[in-house]
Amino acid sequence: MSEQEPRDFIRQIIHDDLESGKHSEIVTRFPPEPNGYLHIGHVMSICLNFGVAAETGGRTFLRLDDTNPGKESPEYVDAIKRDVHWLGFDWEDRLTHASDYFGQLHDSAVRLIELGVAYVDSLSAEEIREHRGTLTEPGTNSPFRDRSVEENLDLFRRMHAGEFGDGEHVLRAKIDMASPNMNMRDPAVYRIRHIPHQNAGDEWCIYPMYDFAHGLSDAYEGITHSLCTLEFEDHRPLYDWFLDQLQPEHRPRQIEFSRLNLAYAITSKRKLSALVEEGIVNGWDDPRMPTIAGMRRRGYPPAAMREFVKRAGVTKKDKLIEMGALETCVRDTLGDVAERRMAVLRPLKVVLTNYPEGQVETMEAMNHPANPEMGTREMPFSRELWIEQDDFMEEAPRKFFRLKPGGEVRLRFGYIIKCDEVIKNDAGEVVELRCSYDPDTRSGTGSSDRKVKGTIHWVSCEHAIDATVRLYDRLFTEANPNAASDFHSVLNPNSLETISARLEPALGELAAGQAVQFERLGYFCADEKDDADEARVINRIVTLRDSWAKLEKQAMQKQG
Within a 13 Å sphere around the CA of 119, how many CA atoms are in the beta-carbon half? Answer: 17
pLDDT surpassing 80 at residue 448: no
When pLDDT is averaged across residues 30-55 and rounded to a whole number, the result is 97
pLDDT score at 507? 96
pLDDT score recorded for residue 554: 53
Ranges of H-type helices in 462-533:
none
What is the DSSP code (8-state) at residue 403? B
pLDDT score for 548: 53
pLDDT tens sequence across 265-311 = 999 999 999 999 999 999 999 999 999 999 999 999 999 999 999 99
Each residue of 253-266: pLDDT tens digit? Answer: 999 999 999 999 99
The CA distances from residue 238 to 168, 175, 181, 356, in Å, are 24, 9, 9, 82
Per-residue model confidence (pLDDT) at position 408: 96
Q: How confident is the model at residue 560 (pLDDT cuts 50, 70, 90)?
A: very low
Alpha helices per DSSP H over 278-358: 292-298, 302-312, 323-335
Residue 100 scores a pLDDT above 80: yes
Residue 553 pLDDT exceeds 90? no
Span 156-160, mean pLDDT?
98
User: pLDDT, tens digit, for every residue of 418-439?
Assistant: 999 999 999 999 999 999 999 9
Q: Which string of DSSP letters, residue by residue, matches 414-476?
A: S-EEEEEEEEE-TTS-EEEEEEEEEGGG-TTS-S-----S-EE--EETTTPEEEEEEEE--SB
3-class secondary structure, 503? strand
**Predicted confidence (pLDDT) at residue 134 exceeds the cutoff of 80:** yes
At 33, give phi and psi (nearest 5°): -85, 130
Would you state the pLDDT for residue 131? 97
Q: What is the mean pLDDT of the chain?
A: 94
Distances (CA, A) of 365 to 319, 362, 446: 44, 9, 16
pLDDT of residue 549: 55
% the chain with pLDDT above 90: 92
Q: Render pLDDT for 468-483 as a digit per residue (tens, 0 to 9).
A: 999 999 999 999 999 9
CB 496 within 8 A of CB 471: yes
pLDDT at 559: 45
Asked if residue 2 has pLDDT above 80, the reply is no
Give the Cα separation of 217 and 199 in Å (integer). Answer: 16
Does pLDDT of 236 surpass 90?
yes
Residue type, 236: R
All structural domains of the chain, each given as residue ranges with its CATH number in brackets, are: 9-257 (3.40.50.620), 269-298+316-339+467-559 (2.40.240.10), 343-457 (2.40.240.10)
pLDDT on residue 301: 97
Poorest-pLDDT segment among 143-157, 273-287, 375-389, 520-534: 520-534
Q: In the predicted model, what is the mean pLDDT of residues 130-138?
A: 96
Provide mean pLDDT across the span 200-224.
Answer: 97
Amino acid code (one letter) for 463: H
- Catalytic positions: 33, 259, 269
Banded model confidence at residue 3, pLDDT cuts 50, 70, 90: low
In this prediction, residues 308-318 reach a mean pLDDT of 94
| Res 556: pLDDT | 43
* 532 confidence band (pLDDT: 50, 70, 90): confident
pLDDT higher than 60, residue 552: no
